């Protein structure tokens, strides 16, 4: 007799390691699956009682029919003839109800196989929905999992429960290098149900990862004494974090950095030596932009709030600090404050805006320079050509041609 007893559940290897499904849910799924099988075989399941006894692991199916006179059976699933009923018990009369146990074997071998398949897929579906819900609640939180498989475009991680988490190449810090079996930290970025299987994506490049690392590593942030107002990153290169404190006695930057950088050191290491600037947040936009441009010292700022632009005047020797390697500093300062920042040298009156050369230099080239904060002739002429090649998407030949045109202007 196949599967006569609910103990069969325990024999399905698929459910042995199933920590996510409780007995009650399993019973409900079981009843649902059996009702479907009965509907298929008998056309209806309304007149069946399914009794599940979780403690004993028993399952009984009873079919209820009404006794009718011989030859008057119109609905064989709902009615039973008197002579058939009397085979069950000799003293049945017309109009009485008969309950008869249905043995699993009566459903037929094919129905039993289908039932087993259905049960397995329903349980997996339940698991997947649970996993989906569990990880949906973890979006934006730090999570640790182990490297299971290294592929060209992604790393496949497994957590302690055996759930698969994907860390795509573009969500890895450029210097990341992982070996099989190694533990990896990141934030859960998204969860999607594809078919019935949840796809869980982890990110190490998200600004949220840095914010959550601050929460984990700096007790005052965890306790809410210091709040992280904004985080901007160029993953693996540089980041700026604006922090604020509700308590005037706490120095938020000092608390986050720690003595000789002791507190932030672990975070920097986790992010592949990303250079992290921690600055004091303020509602005073001019002061905020000044702080965001550190380590450069700003002489003065002119704000155009309507267009979200700021003209920043600096001493000539401070300009390269404000722009930073590869234009990273000025780019992040702009993202942090929400202002487009234009840098001007103090006392350089005779400089010429790059846009004035539009008849000789293509507008897309001017745009490329402007992207890295270079929009005057002198700002380009003061740079090293090799550095300009690295910082922009322009060919050396193009840059040399631009430098030649600009030099002519000043030599005239």
Domain 8-133: CATH architecture, name and number where available: 2-Layer Sandwich (3.30)
User: Which of 112-116, 277-281, 390-394 is most confident?
Assistant: 277-281
Mean pLDDT value across the chain: 86
Closest among 318, 212, 225, 228 to 267, alpha carbons compared: 212
The tens digit of pLDDT for each residue in 73-119 reads: 888 888 888 888 888 888 888 888 888 888 877 777 777 777 777 77
Instruction: Enumerate the domain spans of the chain.
Output: 8-133, 138-205, 220-280, 282-348, 350-412
Retrieve residue 222's tokens: 């965890």
Chain segment 300-322, per-residue pLDDT in tens: 999 999 999 999 999 888 888 99
Q: What is the pLDDT of residue 148?
A: 96
Spatial CA neighbour of 353 closest among 377, 330, 327: 377
* CATH architecture type of domain 350-412: Orthogonal Bundle (1.10)
| CATH topology for the 138-205 domain | OB fold (Dihydrolipoamide Acetyltransferase, E2P) (2.40.50)
The fold of 220-280 is: GMP Synthetase; Chain A, domain 3 (3.30.300)
- In the chain, pLDDT over 70 holds for what percent of residues? 91
Three-state SS across the chain?
CCCCCCCHHHHCHHHHCCCCCCHHHHHHHHHHHHHHHHHHHHCCCCCEEEEEECCCCEEEEEEEEEEECCCCCCCCCCEEEHHHHHHHCCCCCCCCEEEEECCHHHHCHHHHHHHHHHHHHHHHHHHHHHHHHHHHCCECCEEEEEEEEECCCEEEEECCCCCEEEEEHHHCCCCCCCCCCCEEEEEEEEEEEECCEEEEEEECCCHHHHHHHHHHHCHHHHCCCEEEEEEEEECCCEEEEEEEECCCCCCHHHHHHCHHHHHHHHHHHHCCCCEEEEEECCCCHHHHHHHHCCCCCEEEEEEECCCCEEEEEECHHHHHHHHCHHHHHHHHHHHHHCCEEEEEECCCCCCCEHHHHCCCCCHHHHHHHHHCCCCEHHHHHCCCHHHHHHHCCCCHHHHHHHHHHHHHHHHC
Task: Report pLDDT for 346.
Answer: 80
The CATH architecture to which 282-348 belongs is 2-Layer Sandwich (3.30)
Q: Which position has the higher pLDDT, 57 or 273?
A: 273
Nearest 5 degrees, angle CA 355-CA 359-CA 360?
95
pLDDT at 9: 47
Half-sphere exposure of 324 (CA within 13 A, CB side): 22
In angstroms, rounded to a whole number, what is the distance separating the alpha carbons of residues 115 and 4?
13
282-299 pLDDT, tens digit per residue, is 999 999 999 999 999 999
- pLDDT score at 31: 82
Q: Which of 9, 5, 29, 28 shows the shortest CA–CA distance to 18? A: 9
d(CA 243, CA 229): 5
Compute the half-sphere exposure of residue 119: CA atoms within 13 Å on the CB side of its CA.
Answer: 24
Look at residue 83 in the predicted model and tell me its pLDDT. 83
Same fold: 220-280 with 282-348:
yes
């Amino acid at each position: 007799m196949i599967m006569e007893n609910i103990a069969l559940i325990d024999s399905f290897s698929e459910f042995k390691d199933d920590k996510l499904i409780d007995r009650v849910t399993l019973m409900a799924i079981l009843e649902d699956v059996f009702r479907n099988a009965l509907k298929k075989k008998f056309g209806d399941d309304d007149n069946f009682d399914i009794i599940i006894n979780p403690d004993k692991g028993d399952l009984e199916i009873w079919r209820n029919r009404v006794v009718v006179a011989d030859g008057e059976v119109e609905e064989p699933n709902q009615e039973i003839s008197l002579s058939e009923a009397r085979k069950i018990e000799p003293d049945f009369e017309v109009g009485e109800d008969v309950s008869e146990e249905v043995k699993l074997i009566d459903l037929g071998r094919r129905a039993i196989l289908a039932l087993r398949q259905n049960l397995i897929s329903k349980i997996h579906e339940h698991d997947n929905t649970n996993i989906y819900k569990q990880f949906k609640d973890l979006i934006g939180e730090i999570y640790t999992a182990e490297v299971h498989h290294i592929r060209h475009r992604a790393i496949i991680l497994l957590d302690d429960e055996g759930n698969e988490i994907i860390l795509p190449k573009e969500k890895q810090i450029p210097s990341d290098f992982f070996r099989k079996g190694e533990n990896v930290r990141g934030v859960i970025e998204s969860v999607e149900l594809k078919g019935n299987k949840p796809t869980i994506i982890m990110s190490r490049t998200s600004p949220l990862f840095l914010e959550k690392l601050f929460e984990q590593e700096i007790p005052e942030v965890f306790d809410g004494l210091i709040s992280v107002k904004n985080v901007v990153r160029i993953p693996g290169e540089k980041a700026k974090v604006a922090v604020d404190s509700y308590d005037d006695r706490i120095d938020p930057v000092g608390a986050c950095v720690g003595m000789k950088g002791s507190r932030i050191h672990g975070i920097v290491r986790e992010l592949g030596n990303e250079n992290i600037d921690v600055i004091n947040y303020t509602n005073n936009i001019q002061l905020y932009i000044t702080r965001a441009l550190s380590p450069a010292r700003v002489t003065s700022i002119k704000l155009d709030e309507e267009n979200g632009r700021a003209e920043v005047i600096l001493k000539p020797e401070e300009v390269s600090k404000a722009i930073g390697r590869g234009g990273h500093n000025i780019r992040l300062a702009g993202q942090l404050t929400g202002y487009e920042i234009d840098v001007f040298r103090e006392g350089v009156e005779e400089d010429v805006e790059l846009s004035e050369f539009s008849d000789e230099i293509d507008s897309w080239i001017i745009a490329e320079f402007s992207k890295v904060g270079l929009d005057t002739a002198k700002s380009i002429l003061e740079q090293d050509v090799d550095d300009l090649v690295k910082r922009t998407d322009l060919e050396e030949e193009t840059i040399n041609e631009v430098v030649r045109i600009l030099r002519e202007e000043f030599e005239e």
